[in-house]
Amino acid sequence: MGQDVEDGRLVGGRYRLEGVLGRGGMGTVWRGRDETLGRTVAVKELRFPSSIDDEEKQRLIMRTLREAKAIARIRSGSAITVYDVVDEDDRPWIVMELIEGRSLADTIRQDGPLSPRRTAEVGLAVLDVLRAAHREGILHRDVKPSNVLMEEGTGRVVLTDFGIAKVQGDPSITSTGMLVGAPSYISPERARGNPPGPPADMWSLGGLLYAAVEGRPPYDKGSAISTLTAVMTEPLPPLERAGALSEVIFGLLEKDPEKRLDVAGARVLLEMAAAVSDGMDTTGGGATPADVTRSAAGMPPVPPPGGSGSEPRTPPVRTASGLPPIPSLNPPGGRAGSAASGTGAGSGAGNGPGSWPAARQGFGGLGSRRTLAIIAAVVVLLVILGVVVANAVGSDGGGSAAGSDGGTGQQEQQGDKTGQDDGDDEAAEPSSKPEPDNGGKDDGKGEDKGEDGGKDKGKQDGALPDGYRRVADGRFHFSMAMPQDFKRTGTAGAGSGAKYGWPGGGYPKLQVDYNDSPLADAVLAWKGLEPAVRKSSPGYKLLDLQKVKWRGYPTVADWSFLRNEGDQRVRVLNRGFKVDDKRGYAIMVTCKADEWTGEQCRTLRQTAFKTFKPQ
């Protein structure tokens, strides 16, 4: 029998074809009706080109059957459910659950880019399918917006089309030298012809997230060769709308698969991005997931690498998971179609991120060092610090004058009487108490101890360095002197702190975070985070991490390290401390590494620590 199929045909003696939903190069997707069970289904018909030879025909049949088997092995609410495979006309017909809606590609094209929060929800759904697939030894190899369906009325997200999936142990059935998949979403290692592993799917997920939130693929150059060359050699194009998704996109689109975020790391960052209200992305690139979650004991920031959203960077590991499921946003109305036009298959109940199970073994490994570092950081912080997700307390006008915060902050002029704290000597000294072992990473360097160096001892608050003024922030309960030209450049996430720097960007820069439920041990908090940040920060080098004595506060720890932010080598000092049971802070200073001991950076550090006052 030929391949001309008409509406009304009964396939397999059971499935009545009712209309075409979509057509592709090798198949047609039909709307069908299961006359035995009385339900609507999707029926995928395999079609052969007229010029095809018998060998290629068998290859396509094998591919179709492998797709059905792969899908049937995946257990995820965001994966297609295969109901049946029918052999008719010497070719397989796959019967699947019908998803009414549009593809993600159609949604972007017709409605524009998704919000960062909705993109994170889509990413969590796709990630859940990839986790389940990788656990079964299955690589999708074609994760892209046209293969993601958005169910009308429910917001459910479904990953479709495992037609070119690679199943561990199965022989390859692609033609010799054939690179399968969409060039914009093919990982660098695949573009170079290397065997793919799970990191290749994670790269594709990163490309999908980029396209969903930015409205365009990350490396699309118009031709396959140019696009693949860009994938292998060019930095990631600047992010303009990603906001809280920036960290996970940078981590997934890491060219080195060994450094790329894996499922566990991506899940943590996506959950935190999904917890950020879209209205909170107010500072250019928006709040990062690091900003959303803040620990107690004054250990707020895991400092995000990179000075701006346009600089290539690898995200630090973040510190919370187990967020409650985020309900799907109401999706735009859609239409039925094929995977190319928006209809496919999926199973069962919804895809809330709260249902994401623990990471399991995939292609013969126990979980990468990236996974273990992330999990270690999360567990340490949850147990020791009692990490909480801050609730949004309103938008902040990034780029406003330093110290301004929607009317809650004030600027104090030089010479204003502000009262005294615990004394004028703000130098931190190493604690004489025994420290927990740090694996020999401290190098014996104490370069960030005694920041004041005695130079400013005896000065009153009114005697600030030339060009400095005191800024008071009522929202985050502190005041501090800083350069008079510094501006408020952003809010640290869900209302946890304030960022300050030069209006045009650059270094040095300051961040002060506040927590009203501090817990006990600052040094353990930093040591819990340090392995994860080390793994995820390009060029990271630990200089010092130790408990210090400062102002008599009950727990203080200095964490000093080097890393690369884009093409700039920087040095970071992050001092976390607990003032009392209701007030914990972290002061983070970042300078160019070769200017750390220069007058500008040294004066900023010394003045910040000397003049900081909790309120």
**pLDDT tens profile 597-614:** 999 999 999 999 999 999
pLDDT in the model for residue 276: 73
Identify any residues that bridge with 482 across adjacent strands, giving them in sequence order.
Answer: 469
Identify any residues that bridge with 19 across adjacent strands, giving them in sequence order.
Answer: 31
CA distance 46 to 61: 8
Above 70 in pLDDT, residue 248?
A: yes
Q: pTM above the 0.75 mark? A: no
pLDDT in the model for residue 549: 95
The domain limits of the chain are 1-214+330-349, 410-614
Nearest one of 15, 562, 552, 16 to 305, comparing CA atoms: 562
Above 80 in pLDDT, residue 169?
A: no
Query: In this structure, how many other beta carbons lie within 10 angstroms of the beta carbon of residue 332?
Result: 14
CA distance 244 to 423: 40
Above 60 in pLDDT, residue 338?
A: no
Structure tokens at 107: 């949604």
Strand, coil or helix: 273? helix
Mean pLDDT of 96-114: 94
44 is in an annotated binding site: yes
CA distance 32 to 15: 6
Strand 10-11 to 15-23 pairing = antiparallel
Nearest one of 165, 251, 145 to 206, comparing CA atoms: 251
More confident residue, 11 or 136: 11
For residue 446, how far is the Cα from the chain centroid? 33
Q: According to the 3-state scheme, what is the secondary structure of 377-422?
A: HHHHHHHHHCCEECCCCCCCCCCCECCCCCCCCEEECCCCCCCCCC
Q: Which of 128, 142, 405, 473 is catalytic?
A: 142
Strand, coil or helix: 39? strand
Domain covering 1-214+330-349 assigned CATH 1.10.510.10 in the classification: yes
Q: Which CATH superfamily is 410-614 part of?
A: Mog1/PsbP, alpha/beta/alpha sandwich (3.40.1000.10)
Label residue 520 by pLDDT band (50, 70, 90).
confident
Structure tokens at 131: 């986790």
CA distance 428 to 140: 53
pLDDT in the model for residue 81: 86
More confident residue, 611 or 141: 611
Structure tokens at 179: 């690179």
pLDDT in the model for residue 580: 92
pLDDT in the model for residue 509: 95
Burial class (CB in 10 A: 0-12, 13-18, 19+), 171: exposed
Strand, coil or helix: 129? helix
Task: Map tokens 């990982």 to a residue.
Answer: 187
More confident residue, 112 or 419: 112
Query: In this structure, how many other beta carbons lie within 10 angstroms of the beta carbon of residue 102?
Result: 27
C-alpha distances (whole Å) from 350 to each of 70, 151, 353, 556 are: 21, 10, 9, 45
Identify any residues that bridge with 521 across adjacent strands, giving them in sequence order.
Answer: none
Alpha helices in 275-415 (DSSP H): 289-292, 369-380
CA distance 525 to 303: 14
Above 80 in pLDDT, residue 473?
A: yes
Structure tokens at 317: 């590991």
In terms of phi and psi (left: phi > 0; alpha: psi -120 to 50; beta: otherwise), the region of 231 is: alpha
CB-based contact 584:298 (threshold 8 Å): yes
Label residue 529 by pLDDT band (50, 70, 90).
low
CA distance 354 to 505: 38
CA distance 137 to 606: 55
In terms of phi and psi (left: phi > 0; alpha: psi -120 to 50; beta: otherwise), the region of 155 is: left
Above 50 in pLDDT, residue 424?
A: no
Tell me the helix, strand and coil percentages in the chain, rounded to 5.
Answer: 25, 25, 50
Mean pLDDT of 586-600: 96
pLDDT in the model for residue 334: 34
Highest mean pLDDT among 286-300, 426-440, 500-514: 500-514
Structure tokens at 14: 């059971």
More confident residue, 609 or 8: 609
Identify any residues that bridge with 263 across adjacent strands, giving them in sequence order.
Answer: none
Tens-digit pLDDT profile for residues 188-222: 998 888 888 999 999 999 999 999 999 999 998 88
Task: Map tokens 């060219």 to a residue.
Answer: 255
Angle CA 471–472–478, to nearest 5: 120
CB-based contact 197:184 (threshold 8 Å): no
Tens-digit pLDDT profile for residues 546-567: 999 999 999 999 999 999 988 8
Structure tokens at 129: 């399918």
Identify any residues that bridge with 559 across adjacent strands, giving them in sequence order.
Answer: 545, 574
pLDDT in the model for residue 182: 78
Above 50 in pLDDT, residue 9?
A: yes
Strand 410-412 to 468-473 pairing = antiparallel
CB-based contact 123:208 (threshold 8 Å): yes
CB-based contact 366:172 (threshold 8 Å): no
Whether 90 is catalytic is no
Above 60 in pLDDT, residue 242?
A: yes
Name the DSSP letter for residue 99.
B
Mean pLDDT of the chain: 72
CA distance 487 to 402: 4
Nearest one of 354, 358, 293 to 325, comparing CA atoms: 354
More confident residue, 95 or 90: 95
Please report the sign of the dihedral spanned by the C-alpha atoms of residue 7, residue 10, residue 12, residue 18: positive
Above 70 in pLDDT, residue 478?
A: yes
pLDDT in the model for residue 5: 63
Label residue 353 by pLDDT band (50, 70, 90).
very low
pLDDT in the model for residue 365: 34
Give the chain's end-to-end CA distance (angstroms, integer).
Answer: 83
Residue type, 499: K
Please report the sign of the dihedral spanned by the C-alpha atoms of residue 236, residue 237, residue 242, residue 244: positive
pLDDT in the model for residue 519: 63
